[in-house]
Structure 1
Amino acid sequence: MATGGVRAAALGLLLVAACALRPQGAAAQRYNAIWSFGDSISDTGNLCVGGCPSWLTTGQSPYGETFFGRPTGRCSDGRVIVDFLGTYLTYTLRFDRHGRRRRLAGGDFKKGANMAIIGATTMSADFFSLIGLSDKIWNNGPLDTQIQWFRQLLPSVCGSDCKSYLSKSLFVVGEFGGNDYNAALFSGRSMAEVRGYVPRVVSKLIRGLETIVRAGAVDVVVPGVLPIGCFPIYLTLYGTSNGGDYDGDGCLKSYNGLSSYHNALLRRSLASLQRTYPHARIMYADFYSQVVHMIRAPQNFVSVITECEHGRLVAKPRGPRVSVHDRDRSKACVLMDGKYNYNNKARCGMAGAAACSDPGNYLIWDGIHLTEAAYKAIADGWLKGPYCNPAIQH
């Protein structure tokens, strides 16, 4: 896509927040806006503004079926984390339950915007050209570009008083890094080579965060990367007959080791960034630990679904929505054959792919992304802890 086309899509605020509600027991904290940056974990449909293109598998059925009843461009069966954060922390209203647009942005982004886009990387095109992987990067929305979109918006949003305005906003930056490593791993690069990229990826992310903080951001959530060795796509593509390659959770050790290395370096770097900018509140969101804990003990993650009744959101306990059976913990909900319900040649969104009847009882949706139920539990863990340090609600 041309740069202008991506930019026009990326600047649309696509957070779902049907009513204003705080999670039960949470502090009465609100932000005037949410600014989101990231990849398919955070994208709320930026490639589907005006309709999902036919070539985009994540824009086809059964994506979106749980909440919206149709594909919206989100890489899940329903809402993603930033949707839930938008519901809890702002008064924003853009879409109703069925994905119909209630109020067009019309260039007014005072409640924030979501710059995240499927396939986004931390590193820019010159890095991938340097390592011979430029043909593996298919969009032009890396971190630097998303920050550029954000900065271009600011004059129309906050005029000459942006630092005061942004100090009352929540920033969610990431996750970033997953697609940088995927580009190399899926191209056959060795694990040792890919691990060598980690310091550069983390350094690039920190420089981006510094730009955002200097612009006026105060409350900034920075997620680490997921335990990729537990996901069906990696288990299917890189599974072995050697039991020693797997940990006690049935996940591939070396791939989770890559994620752990990234996250450890990121946490150290964020601590240094916090010391440099003591006025900011930099929060590390621990994707890795929470997903591993959900795999080990899904019954501990009781989700409370929120529904809109008479103009307000009502919390309704639904039991352990991420309560998969032991044999299904590393299976995708979308049935695509194979040991883990994943077939790389017949992915979700392609002809013949059909979802399980109970996605709320699955952790993983399509082999590489999570279900709405999992994202809901993760959002709760970030809002109130213990999977965000410090917790967003304070």
Structure 2
Amino acid sequence: MASFPHFLALTLSPLLLLLLMAHPVVSQCKNRPIIFNFGDSNSDTGGLVAGLGFPVNLPNGRSFFRRSTGRLSDGRLTIDFLCQSLNTSLLSPYLDSLAGTKFTSGANFAVVGSSTLPKYVPFSLNIQVMQFLHFKSRTLELFTAGSEQNLINDDGFGNALYIIDIGQNDIADSFAKNMSSVQVLKRIPLITIEIKAAVKALYDQGGRNFWLHNTGPLGCLPQKLSLVKKDLDQYGCISSYNDAAKLFNEELRRVSLKMRSEMKDAKIVYVDIFSIKYDLIANHTKYGFSSPLMACCGYGGPPYNYNIHFTCGQPGYQVCDEGSRFVSWDGIHYTEAANSVVASKILSTAYSTPRVKFDFFCSS
């Protein structure tokens, strides 16, 4: 077995190192790993700041980057750990003109607050796909002109991995608009239709490798708990929110299965993020975490430490000591420590259908 790369040993958390050692996932990439990511704040590596200038202040980014990078976490996101598992650079936001990159390893189109519906508003999923289409067209134009031969060529786009991690805001916003559970559930097929349309658009452009994340347990987010405070399950999460998430996930799983039969030359991997994150909440002590339903950075103290008027990074916020073992960073997003566990579970292949290694797209 290949030895663990020194680069990863220096950059991954001790907990993640232990988990990765238990599930060896050292990249076997023979080709340059190229990734295009589409999604919301769970995988936004700076798109909101670059695109709209919206401030994301410290203490965001304090644990790894030592500065704010536009990520809504104290450090790295799950997508960052996945990239590091391939020993490739972290994805730069497509909208960041000062990123100092030529996007030779791909690009991140995810932006905070994004959803699938409504369409044609910044930065819905179909807008992100439209941005990709422009990016691809312009990149190939420059490559053909010979101005920069290190750019992604047509084969590179065809062999790339296309990650879609979206849907959380569609469900959460529906509840926020006081829709009934029945009304929320009726919208779910409309959401998955948009995800399927995005995959089909990328497939029609030559994409053949897809990695689809389902949505996590919305009812376990401190922000939601601070507002609802009822209908709680045995772990203190909101049952109706989690039930809606599970139904969305089941529909996405079904759609993924159907797409595999329709796009027989494509590899479409469905990843059960819900089970990973719910296990982290339910068995938090096993992973070394405390207070799984309380935000590290927020206001108000136990049980949730979330107040919409004093959110993380805004005047009046309070933050836990660096190195504290919290699952939730700001009441909505996860800490770097929690993201590292999520990434290790993804890399184990135990939550993927079909069960393929994350580097499947670049290892042959």
* TM-score, length-scaled by structure 2: 0.82
The whole-number CA distance in structure 2 between the counterparts of 1:284 and 1:362 is 27
Distance 1:238 1:93 in 2: 36
Find the aligned partners of 1:238 and 1:361 in 2 and give their Cα distance. 25
Question: Which letter does structure 2 place at the counterpart of 1:329?
Answer: P
Counterpart amino acid of residue 123 in structure 2 = G
Q: What does residue 240 of structure 2 align with?
A: 254
Measured against aligned partners, the alpha-carbon deviations of 1:183-236 in whole angstroms (never above 9, x if no partner) come to 222222222212111110111111111111222222211111110111111111
Judged with a 3 Å threshold, the aligned counterparts in structure 2 of structure 1 residues 359 and 110 are, in CA distance, closer, same or farther, namely same
User: How far has the Cα of 1:92 moved from its partner?
Assistant: 2.6
In structure 2, what is the Cα distance between the partners aligned to 1:342 and 1:263? Answer: 27
Deviation for aligned residue 1:278: 2.0
SS at match of 2:66: coil
* Cα distance change of structure 1 residues 102 and 143 upon mapping to structure 2, 3 Å threshold: closer
Q: What's 1:342 paired with?
A: 306
Match of 2:283 in 1: 297
Deviations 1:232-280 (A, max 9, x none): 111111112xxxx221111111110000010000001100001111221
Alignment-derived partner of residue 324 in structure 1: 289
CA apart distance, 1:165: 1.8
- Structure 1 residue 154 displacement after superposition: 1.2
Contact 1:116 1:146 in 2 (8 A): yes
Listed as ranges, the matches of 1:26-37 within 5 Å are: 26-30=25-29, 31-37=32-38
* 2:258 equivalent among 255, 266, 272: 272
**Residue 172 of structure 2 is aligned with which of 172, 182, 186?**
182
Check whether the contact 2:295–2:326 (CA below 8 A) recurs between aligned residues. Answer: yes
Question: Which residue is equivalent to 2:100?
Answer: 104
* Partner in structure 2 of residue 143 of structure 1: 125
Do the aligned residues in 1 keep the contact of 2:116 with 2:170 (CA within 8 Å)?
yes
Cα distance 1:377–1:275, how it changes in 2: closer, same or farther (>3 A)?
same
Which amino acid counterpart does residue 270 of structure 1 have in structure 2?
A: S
Q: Is the 8 A contact 1:34 1:90 kept in 2?
A: no
Aligned to 2:81: 84
Q: CA deviation at 1:48?
A: 2.5
In the alignment, which residue of structure 2 is the partner of 1:201? 191
Partner of 2:16: none
- Aligned-partner Cα distance in 1 for 2:68–2:27: 33
CA distance in 2, matches of 1:358, 1:388: 32
1:384 touches 1:393 (CA, 8 Å); kept in 2? Answer: no
In structure 2, the partner of 1:135 is: none
1:343 CA drift (Å): 1.0
Q: Is the 8 A contact 2:225 2:238 kept in 1?
A: yes
1:11: which partner in 2? none
Local SS of the residue matching 2:36 = strand
Q: Distance in 2 between matches of 1:329 and 1:212?
A: 37
* Secondary structure of the structure 1 residue equivalent to 2:329: coil
| CA shift for structure 1 position 300 | 4.2
Partner of 2:181: 191
Q: Which has the larger displacement, 358-367 or 33-42?
A: 358-367
Q: Partner residue of 1:173?
A: 164
Unaligned runs of 5+ in 1: 1-17, 96-100, 127-138, 302-322
Question: What do you get for the CA RMSD once the two structures are aligned?
Answer: 2.7
Residues 136-180 of structure 1: per-residue CA shift (max 9 Å, x gap): xxx611111111111111134346896532233222111x11112
Please give the secondary structure, in 1, of the residue aligned with 2:107.
strand
Q: Contact 2:172 / 2:218 at 8 angstroms: preserved in 1?
A: no
For 1:285, the equivalent position in structure 2 comes to 271
Query: Quick check: 2:294–2:331 contact (8 Å CA) kept in 1?
Result: yes
In percent, how many aligned pairs have the same letter?
29
Could you tell me how far apart the structure 1 residues matched to 2:8 and 2:89 are?
8
The equivalences for 1:39-78 within 5 A come to 39-49=40-50, 53=53, 56=55, 59-78=56-75
SS at match of 1:48: helix
Q: CA deviation at 1:77?
A: 0.6
Q: Distance in 2 between matches of 1:247 and 1:231?
A: 13
Within the candidate set 114, 118, 126, 1:120 is matched to 114
Contact 2:119/2:125 (<8 A) preserved: no
Deviation at 1:291, TM superposition (A): 0.7
- Structure 1 residues 274, 263: CA separation in 2 closer, same or farther (over 3 Å shift)? same
Length-normalised TM-score, structure 1: 0.76
Displacement of 1:125: 4.0
Query: Secondary structure at the residue paired with 1:192?
Result: helix
